[in-house]
């Protein structure tokens, strides 16, 4: 059995159902302590989850229908935010990295802006 932060959190959720169904079998303090530890482990394992979630949401907003963004983060680099945009067939059509979420979103939005006809 894995002892990853996610499996720990799943275990804590399973303990919650045991406590609800049989409150005398598992104390509320044990449940609270286990849940707190699971939250701490998840936060430590995924420290940039909010940033990546915001980046993904912003990229979905500026990419055309049928395209899907994938995001990543390399925190200790000069341009830590990365995006790969794929078309409906799953083929990469654009990849970019930037120093900020706003900068990356602007680069992607510019790439997919309709071209003006002369």
pLDDT digits 0-9 by tens, 42-84: 777 766 778 888 999 999 999 999 999 999 988 888 999 999 9
pLDDT at 108: 96
Indicate if the pLDDT at residue 16 is higher than 70: yes
pLDDT exceeds cutoff 80 at 4: no
Read off the pLDDT band of 115 (50, 70, 90): confident
The C-alpha atoms of residue 83 and residue 44 are separated, in whole angstroms, by 23
Q: Round to whole Å and give the CA distance between 117 and 115.
A: 6
Mean pLDDT of 25-33: 81
CA pair distance 95, 104, nearest whole angstrom = 10
DSSP state of 83: E
Taking the complete model, does pTM exceed 0.85, yes or no?
A: no
Q: Tell me the residue length of the chain.
A: 118
Query: Which H/E stretch holds residue 98?
Result: strand 92-98
Given this model, what pLDDT does residue 39 score?
81
């Amino acid at each position: 059995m894995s002892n990853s932060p996610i499996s720990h959190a799943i275990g804590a959720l399973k303990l919650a159902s045991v406590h609800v169904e049989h409150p005398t079998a598992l104390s509320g303090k044990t449940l609270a302590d286990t849940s707190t530890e699971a939250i701490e482990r998840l936060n430590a394992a995924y420290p940039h989850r909010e940033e990546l979630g915001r980046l993904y949401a912003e990229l979905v907003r500026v990419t055309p229908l049928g395209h899907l963004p994938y995001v990543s983060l390399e925190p200790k680099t000069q341009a830590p935010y990365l995006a790969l945009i794929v078309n409906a067939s799953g083929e990469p059509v654009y990849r970019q990295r930037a120093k900020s979420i706003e900068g990356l979103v602007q680069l992607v939005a510019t790439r997919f802006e309709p071209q003006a006809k002369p």
